[in-house]
Amino acid sequence: MAHAIHLGPLAAPRAARTSRTPLRLTRRGRIVLVVVPLFLATLAMLIAWAALTVPAQAGAAPLTGPGATVTVTVQPGESLWTIAARRVPNQDPRVTVSQIQDLNGLTGVRVLPGEQILVPVLK
> Using one digit for the tens of pLDDT, what is the confidence trace for 75-116?
999 888 998 888 888 888 888 898 888 888 888 888 889 999
3: pLDDT strictly greater than 60: yes
What is the pLDDT, as a whole number, of residue 21?
Answer: 82
Per residue in 20-69, pLDDT tens? 788 888 999 989 999 999 999 999 999 888 877 765 444 444 444 444 78
Q: For residue 102, what pLDDT is reported?
A: 87
Query: Within its chain, how far is the Cα of 45 from the centroid?
Result: 9
Give me the amino acid identity at 21.
T
Of 96, 89, 104, nearest to 59 by C-alpha is 96
pLDDT recorded at residue 43: 94
- What pLDDT is stored for residue 22 in this prediction? 84
- Tally the residues of the chain: 123
Supply the DSSP string of 11-79, one letter for each residue: GS-HHHH--PPPP---HHHHHHHHHHHHHHHHHHHHHHHHHHHGGGGGGGSPP-STTSEEEEEPPTT--
- pTM, two decimals, is 0.45
Cβ count near 106 (within 10 Å):
16
Residue 72 φ then ψ, to 5° = -120, 135
Q: Which residues contact 108 (CB under 8 A, 6 or more apart)?
A: none
